[in-house]
Amino acid sequence: MSQQSVAKTTTKRAAVSTRRRTPADSDEFMDTEEFMAKLDIARSTFDDWRAKGKCPKWFRLPNGQLRCRRSEFNQWIDALEGAA
């Protein structure tokens, strides 16, 4: 790789990592693996909470995967902290 293309790649990476986050960025999606990892819970616990309506709303993508809006997750966590 030439030095010029390395410089362009480095500049692009820096631009991505330092750009300001917008409100749309804060509404990214999280998958079940990330949700379970953040809370250190098993899949069976996640399935139980979801069946009982004790976790944020999830939706299914056309490929069958589940997703949750990060903003809903944060609101749910805040509500749990407030109730404790």
Instruction: Kindly report, residue by residue over 37-57, the tens digit of the pLDDT.
Output: 999 999 999 999 999 999 999
Q: CA 33, CA 76: separation in Å to the nearest integer? A: 17
Beta-ladder partners of 69: 29
Reply yes or no on whether the pLDDT at 8 is more than 80: no
pTM listed for this prediction: 0.65
Chain-wide mean pLDDT for the chain?
80
- Give me the pLDDT at residue 37, please: 97
- Give me the pLDDT at residue 26, please: 56
CA 19 and chain centroid, separation: 19
